């Protein structure tokens, strides 16, 4: 199937799946555009000219460790619909220029609408996950991304007890563990490492060794930043009005559980800023906003399964806000160590 973008207006936003983007790239390659170029440690994959200029330079390091440097500018806004498979790497991302908006689908454990912005860094693991990335036009996008797949993670040894709980679970083999963790501003030490990666002075074997060492330093700094944040969370002073607004947020979240608002929207609804909402919610209720929502949905599903044996699993999933029965079943099993069908049959007995 030919995908024709040549005649689209340059200001029109387009939406492409990963497969459609691959087909556009293949078409450009057949037209003679220098899209795919092998390099010593990987590939340079350029954007089709109908979409923009620049592209991704990929470095395949060792043991499932990879580095990607994206430097590109789009001619028109792009919405990229991505379906992540069950096998997904631990991914570290540093925004040097540009920004993107991400909307998630069927994922109550991840914020359903968030931004990734210049000067910030992120760590995430998103298996079995559908999202839409919104990329702006006429802005330089410059991102350094490091990924470590299961092969690399399984080679790591030592105690995980000091790490944040989501990382502990992932390193202990829970491949279903999902999280998207913003880690704040890129620190001076991280900027220095990123610049060393971009200006690598070596070729061949020394290039690989040099890049691996810098990538591992970056990951170490990220893990340290997250761990220190968990150990010493910045306390938020809550006055009586703040507490009242947080209880309003709790009630609003329950009322909108089947179609939950983003953190930004929820904060606006109750008159709090996002930081006070996130930190205050954890202080008051002992969990994150979306962790609370997940628990509420699961306990609501429990009640439905035991009170109405005529309900199908798909019906229960829809009733608690899941578009996908499969995603609901996975979340229920993760929470209660039993499938919803088995729980329902057990309660009938």
Residue 9 has pLDDT above 70, yes or no: no
Q: Tell whether 204 and 265 lie within a shared domain.
A: no
Q: Has residue 339 been placed in a domain? A: yes
Residue in this structure with the two tokens 């912005």, named with its chain if needed:
117
Q: Tell whether 178 and 192 lie within a shared domain.
A: yes
> What pLDDT does residue 121 have?
95
Coil/strand/helix, residue 237: coil
> What pLDDT does residue 5 have?
45
In eight-state DSSP terms, residue 321 is: T
Q: Tell whether 136 and 224 lie within a shared domain.
A: yes
Q: Tell whether 133 and 162 lie within a shared domain.
A: yes
Q: What is the pLDDT of residues 153-191, one digit of tens each?
A: 888 887 888 888 899 889 888 888 899 999 989 998 999
Q: Tell whether 213 and 247 lie within a shared domain.
A: no
Domain boundary among 231, 249, 276: 231
Q: Could you tell me if 94 and 190 are in contact, meaning their C-beta atoms sit under 8 angstroms apart?
A: yes
140 beta partners? 73
Mean per-residue pLDDT of the chain: 88
Domain boundary among 211, 231, 251: 231
Q: Has residue 100 been placed in a domain? A: yes
Q: Has residue 266 been placed in a domain? A: yes
Residue 1 has pLDDT above 80, yes or no: no
> What pLDDT does residue 180 have?
93
The number of domains in the chain is: 3
DSSP sequence for 77-127: -EEEEEEE-SS--EEEEEEEE--EEEEEES-TTS-SEEEE-TTEEEEEE--
Q: Has residue 310 been placed in a domain? A: yes
Q: Has residue 70 been placed in a domain? A: yes
Q: Tell whether 253 and 338 lie within a shared domain.
A: no
What CATH number is given to the structural domain containing 126?
2.60.120.10
Q: Has residue 1 been placed in a domain? A: no
Strand order in the sheet with 140-148: 36-39, 42-46, 52-60, 65-74, 140-148, 90-97, 120-125, 179-185
Q: What percent of the chain has pLDDT over 90?
A: 54
Residue 268 has pLDDT above 50, yes or no: yes
- pLDDT-wise least confident of 83-92, 106-115, 208-217: 106-115
Residue 260 has pLDDT above 60, yes or no: yes
Residue 230 has pLDDT above 50, yes or no: yes
Integer CA distances (angstroms), 54 to 40, 50, 142, 230, in order: 19, 12, 10, 38
Residue 348 has pLDDT above 80, yes or no: no
pLDDT classification of 232: cutoffs 50, 70, 90:
low
Q: Tell whether 107 and 204 lie within a shared domain.
A: yes
Coil/strand/helix, residue 303: helix
pLDDT classification of 234: cutoffs 50, 70, 90:
low
Q: Tell whether 277 and 304 lie within a shared domain.
A: no
Phi, psi of 13 (to 5 degrees): -75, 140
Half-sphere exposure of 275 (CA within 13 A, CB side): 6
Candidates 265, 304, 262; CA nearest to 107 is 262
Q: Tell whether 209 and 261 lie within a shared domain.
A: no
Q: What is the pLDDT of residues 36-48, one digit of tens each?
A: 999 989 999 999 9
Q: Could you tell me if 171 and 155 are in contact, meaning their C-beta atoms sit under 8 angstroms apart?
A: no
> What pLDDT does residue 13 have?
80
Domain boundary among 250, 267, 286: 286
Instruction: Give the span between the Cα atoms of 250 and 33, in whole angstroms.
Output: 54
pLDDT classification of 258: cutoffs 50, 70, 90:
confident
> What pLDDT does residue 190 have?
94
DSSP sequence for 4-20: --TTS-TTS-EEEEHHH
Q: Has residue 137 been placed in a domain? A: yes
Residue 195 has pLDDT above 70, yes or no: yes
Instruction: Give the span between the Cα atoms of 54 and 44, in whole angstroms.
Output: 10
Residue 235 has pLDDT above 80, yes or no: no
Phi, psi of 163 (to 5 degrees): -80, 160
**CA 295, 321, 245 angle in degrees (round to 5)?**
60
Q: Tell whether 280 and 297 lie within a shared domain.
A: no
Q: Has residue 244 been placed in a domain? A: yes
For residue 72, count other CB atoms closer than 10 A to its CB: 19
What CATH number is given to the structural domain containing 296?
1.10.10.60
> What pLDDT does residue 8 have?
38
| pLDDT, mean of residues 301-328 | 88
Q: Helix/strand/coil (H, E, C) string of 49-67?
A: CCCEEEEEEEEECCCCEEE
Instruction: Give the span between the Cα atoms of 100 and 74, in whole angstroms.
Output: 12
Q: Which domain holds residue 48?
A: 14-231
Q: Could you tell me if 17 and 81 are in contact, meaning their C-beta atoms sit under 8 angstroms apart?
A: yes
Q: Which pair of structure tokens corresponds to residue 78?
A: 């792009």
Q: Could you tell me if 48 and 2 are in contact, meaning their C-beta atoms sit under 8 angstroms apart?
A: no
Does residue 291 or residue 223 have the better pLDDT?
A: 223
Instruction: Give the span between the Cα atoms of 156 and 171, in whole angstroms.
Output: 8
Residue 116 has pLDDT above 70, yes or no: yes
Q: Tell whether 267 and 323 lie within a shared domain.
A: no
Does residue 7 or residue 31 have the better pLDDT?
A: 31
Candidates 264, 266, 247; CA nearest to 256 is 266
Q: Tell whether 220 and 343 lie within a shared domain.
A: no
């Amino acid at each position: 199937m030919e995908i024709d973008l040549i005649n689209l207006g340059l200001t029109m936003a387009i939406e492409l799946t990963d497969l459609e983007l691959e087909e556009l790239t293949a078409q450009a390659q057949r037209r003679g555009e220098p899209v795919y170029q092998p390099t010593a440690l990987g590939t340079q994959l350029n954007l089709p000219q109908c979409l923009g200029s620049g592209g991704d330079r990929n470095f395949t390091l060792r043991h499932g460790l990879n580095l990607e440097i994206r430097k590109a500018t789009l001619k028109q806004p792009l919405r990229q619909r991505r379906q992540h498979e069950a096998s997904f790497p631990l991914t570290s991302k540093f925004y040097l220029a540009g920004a993107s908006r991400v909307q998630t689908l069927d994922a109550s454990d991840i914020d359903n609408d968030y931004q990734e912005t210049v000067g910030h860094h992120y760590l995430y693991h998103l298996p079995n996950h559908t999202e839409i990335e919104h990329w702006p036009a006429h802005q330089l996008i410059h991102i350094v991304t490091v990924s470590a797949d299961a092969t690399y993670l399984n080679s790591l040894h030592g105690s995980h007890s000091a790490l944040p709980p989501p990382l502990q679970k992932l390193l202990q083999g829970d491949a279903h563990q999902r999280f998207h963790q913003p880690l704040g501003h890129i620190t001076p030490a991280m900027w220095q490492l990123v610049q060393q990666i971009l200006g690598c002075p070596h070729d061949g074997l020394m290039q690989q060794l040099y890049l691996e060492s810098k990538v591992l330093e970056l990951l170490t700094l990220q893990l340290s930043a997250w761990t220190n944040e968990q150990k010493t969370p910045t306390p938020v002073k809550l006055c009586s009005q703040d507490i009242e607004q947080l209880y309003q947020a709790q009630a609003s979240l329950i009322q909108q559980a089947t179609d939950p608002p983003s953190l930004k929207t929820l904060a606006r609804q109750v008159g709090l800023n996002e930081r006070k909402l996130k930190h205050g919610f954890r202080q008051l209720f002992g969990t994150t906003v979306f962790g609370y929502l997940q628990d509420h949905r699961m306990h609501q599903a429990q009640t439905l399964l035991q009170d109405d044996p005529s309900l199908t699993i798909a019906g229960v999933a829809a009733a608690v806000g899941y578009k996908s029965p499969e995603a609901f079943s996975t979340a229920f099993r993760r929470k209660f160590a039993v499938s919803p069908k088995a729980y329902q049959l057990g309660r009938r007995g």
